[in-house]
Structure 1
Amino acid sequence: MYKKVALAIAFSPTIEALISETKRLVELFGSELILIHIGKKTDELETQLEEIIIKTGLDILNTKLIWKEGKPVHMILEACAEEKADLLIIGALKREGILTYYLGSVGRKLIRKSKCSILTLIDPRVEAERFSKVVVNGTQMEITPKVISKALKFCQIENVSQVHILNEIKLYAFRMATASKGSEDEVSNTRRKLIQDEIVYVQDILKDLDKTGLKINIKITAGKWAVELVRYCEAFKADLLILGDERGYTFIDRLFPHDLEDVLSELPCNLLIIK
C-alpha cells in the first residue's frame, strides 16, 4: 500500500516508541523506511540513533537515515519529496496536566503542507499494537470515495476488527426541507429520507470495493462533521481516524482548515490523513 514510509524523528523520550510503531507498519506494508532528523549531525547523536535502531530490531542496512539542517517543516517536506515518500509519520505532543492531545506548530504545518499522506501517532508504544477500531470520514466531498477505498485497503492489511464510516445530514438541507409548516410525521419522514440518502451515498461507494473480512458500520450524524468525528471517536474509543485532505479538489477546501483545526486541537486518537 505504501512503498516508502518516512518518519520524522527528534531525540525525545518517544523516539524509541515511534520507531517501534513505524517498524511494525513498514513490515506490514513491505515498505522502505526513511528516518528524517532535522538538526546538526554529531557522532554522539548518530551513535544514539544506531543504538535505538538496533534495539527496536530495524535492519540498519535497509533503513535510510537523512540528516538535514534548517527549518524543520521545510526540510522534512523537502526530504519526503526527494525520497518520493508516500506516507509521512509524525508524533503528537501531550498537553501537560490535561488528558488531551494537540499538535505543535510544526505538526500542524506538516499536515497542511505535506503532499503525501500523513499519519499522526498520539501515544506511540515500544510494544506496538495493531489498530483495531477505525473510524472513517464519509462526509460528501470529492475526495471521499478515494478516502474510503484507501481506508478499506489499510484496514484489510491491518486486519482491523471494526470499521465505522461516519457521514452527516447536512443541517442546512434539513432546515430547508422542514421550513414549511408540516406535521410531525412529515418532518420525521423528511429526516428519514435525508438519512437514507446519506447511507445510500456511502453504500454506492462501497459496492465496487473489496470488503473481504471487514465488518463495516455506516453511521449518520447531524452537525459539523469534524466535531462529530471527534465525538464519535471518543465514544467509540477508536484508535485510528481516517479522513481526506480536500485541498485542490473543490471550493469546500477553503473551509477544510477550519474543520481540520477542530480535529487537531484535541486529537481523539491516531490520525491518518489521505492526500
Structure 2
Amino acid sequence: MSLKPFKSIGIGVAFSPNLKANLYESARLSVFLGAKLFLIHVGDASAEKLNQLDDILKSFKSEGLDYEVVFKTGDPVEVILSISEEKKIDLLILGALQRERFLKYYVGSIARKITRRAKCSILLLIKPAVERIPCQHIVVNGLKDPKTEQTITTAFYFATKLKTEKLTIVEEIKEDQVTVKVEDDKSLRMANIMKERIKLRENSRINEIISHIPEAYTQDKTIKLQAIFGKQGYSIGHYAQISRADLLVMNAPSKMTFWDRLFPHDIEHILTELPTDVLILQ
C-alpha cells in the first residue's frame, strides 16, 4: 500500500448552517493526512463566497492546509462526480442527515447517488463538529474478499494519523456456513464446535493480513478480532453501534465480484441507517 493513500480530499460546500462544522472537519482531516483539500461549490463564483470560506479556514493555514475552491453550476451529483474525477480526488466527504424525532442518520438522495457512483473512497459524516471529537475506536470489516487486506491496512493507516488506539476487525460469517441442524443437545454441541473451528480459521486469516501491515501502523494499538454469525452489513453495522465505534471502515462494492449480489443488502443497509461515521474504501 502507498504510504500516502489520500493525497487529495474533496467536499461539497453549501452555504448552510453546517458550513463551518463541515469545513473544520474536512480541514482537520486534510491536515492529519497531509492531503490537499478541494472545496466544491455547485453554483456561481463570487468574491463574497471566497472571502467567507477563507475567513473560516484561516486558522488552518498556519497548520499547513493547502486548499482550492472549485465553482461549477449544474446538477449537484454530476458536478461533484465530475470535479472529483477532474481533480483526481482520493477521498470525498459527504454529510448524512438525521431523521426527524429519531437519533438515526441516513444518507440523503444526492449523497446516496454520489456514493453509488463515485470512483473514489467516500467518508460519510453524521455529526460534523467545529470542536474536534477524538476518534477512539475504529471498526473495520474483515470480510473474505480480495479488497479486504487493503481495507484493513488503510484502517490502520487512518488510525495512526488520527491517533486512534483501538481497532476491531469484524469477521461477518453467514449462518449457513454452520451446516449442522440443531435438534438436540448433541447437534447443538456439534454446531458450537463447528462455529469455533470457523472462528479459528477466520482469526488465522485476519492475523495473516495484520502480519503484512507495517509495524509503524500496528504498534501501540489495541487490536480485537470479532467473529459474528449473521447477515452481512447488518451485523457489522449493529456491532459498530453497540460498541460505540467512532468510525466504521468498509470495502466498496466491486463490479464483477460477489459484492454485486451483496450490494443491496450490506452497503445499502449501512446507508439507510448509519451507525456512526462510515469510510467506504475503493
TM-score (norm 2): 0.90
**191 and 258 in structure 1: CA distance in 2 versus 1, 3 angstrom threshold:** closer
Deviation for aligned residue 1:123? 0.4
Instruction: Give the match's secondary structure for 2:225.
Output: strand
Q: 1:243 aligns with which of 213, 234, 250?
A: 250
Contact 2:92 2:123 in 1 (8 A): yes
The aligned residue for residue 260 of structure 1 is 267
* Residue 52, structure 1, aligned to residue 56, structure 2: yes
**1:144-163 equivalent positions in 2, closer than 5 A:** 144-163=148-167
Once the two structures are superposed, what CA deviation does each residue of 1:22-72 show, in whole Å capped at 9, x if it has no partner?
111111111111100112334443333333233x53479942100111111
TM-score (norm 1): 0.92
* Residue 93, structure 1, aligned to residue 97, structure 2: yes
The aligned residue for residue 9 of structure 1 is 13
Aligned residues, how many?
273
Q: For structure 1, which runs of at least 5 residues remain unmatched after alignment?
A: none
Deviation for aligned residue 1:222? 0.8
**1:192-271 equivalent positions in 2, closer than 5 A:** 192-210=196-214, 211-248=218-255, 250-271=257-278
**1:124-203 equivalent positions in 2, closer than 5 A:** 124-174=128-178, 176-178=179-181, 183-203=187-207
* CA RMSD of superposed structures (Å): 2.0
Give distance in 1, aligned partners of 2:202 and 2:87.
40
Give distance in 2, aligned partners of 1:23 and 1:208.
31
Tell me the amino acid that sits aligned with residue 258 of structure 2. Answer: F
Once the two structures are superposed, what CA deviation does each residue of 1:119-166 show, in whole Å capped at 9, x if it has no partner?
111101101233111100112122111111111111122211210000
Tell me the amino acid that sits aligned with residue 81 of structure 1. Answer: E
Tell me the amino acid that sits aligned with residue 131 of structure 1. Answer: C
What is the identity percentage for the equivalent residue pairs of Structure 1 and Structure 2?
Answer: 34
Give distance in 1, aligned partners of 2:67 and 2:159.
25
The aligned residue for residue 20 of structure 1 is 24
Deviation for aligned residue 1:178? 4.5
Q: For structure 2, which runs of at least 5 residues remain unmatched after alignment?
A: none
